[in-house]
Amino acid sequence: MSTWEFATGTAEQTQHLAGKLAELLRAGDLIILSGELGAGKTTFTQGLGRSLGVREGIISPTFVLVRIHPNVPDGTNPGGPDLVHVDAYRLGTPGEIDDIDLENTMDSSVTVVEWGVDRVEHLAASRLEIELVRAVGDAGAVAGAETATQAAFDDGGLDFSASFDADEDDDEPRTLRLIAVGPRWVGIDFSVLGQLVNTTE
């Protein structure tokens, strides 16, 4: 297991770092994203998807749990893996993860799971755990967004036509902490991703 920390100052830099990471990825890879609401998890995934060459339109899968973005044959990375984007916020156990059958897409896709810590580690022998940490933030706004999301689920009053994204990013500085777990990542030099702050092997 190795840990790498990177700094980004804007949403564009966060997406650029994600795009560089995508160049190291292949079908079967599992990425677990964590961080508070507004930390930039979906923004990160957008940068990842752009570099992987998958269909555009990546938004938070909060209400549908899973979105599959297929590789575009005439895009920037023809023949590359699909992207499976999962929001595990409402899934409490590994058993509930199993119910959405991610195993059926793991071999042909890069799988990104938001809120996946302690839920999806059993899906693969190796994984990347990436925590996005805001340098500053409005705790009240974050709590309010989380409460509104919870209330929408509880009331059943969801507007699926709206492009709701509680993880809307801005240009605050971030620290991205990447933990590489398992044999897949042994010997991989992640320093190519961006501005390295710290690393431990």
* Total Cβ atoms within 10 A of residue 193: 20
Query: H or E stretch including 150?
Result: helix 139-155
Closest to 42 measured CA to CA, from 57, 22, 27: 57
DSSP code string of 97-110? HHTTTTHHHHTTEE
Predicted TM-score (pTM) of the model is 0.83
CB of 119 within 8 A of CB of 177? no
CB of 175 within 8 A of CB of 6? yes
> How close are the terminal C-alpha atoms of the chain, in Å?
7
Q: Can you say whether the dihedral through the CA atoms of 54, 57, 60, 63 is positive or negative?
A: negative
Identify which has the larger pLDDT, 96 or 46.
Answer: 46
Task: Express each pLDDT in 15-51 by its tens digit.
Answer: 999 999 999 999 999 999 999 988 999 999 999 999 9
Task: Express each pLDDT in 174-189 by its tens digit.
Answer: 999 999 999 999 999 9
Q: Which of 130-134, 136-140, 143-147, 186-190 has the lowest mean pLDDT?
A: 143-147
DSSP state of 55: P
**Average pLDDT over every residue of 153-172:** 47
DSSP state of 61: -
CB of 109 within 8 A of CB of 115? no
CB of 39 within 8 A of CB of 55? no
**Cα angle vertex 167, ends 162, 168, to 5°?**
75
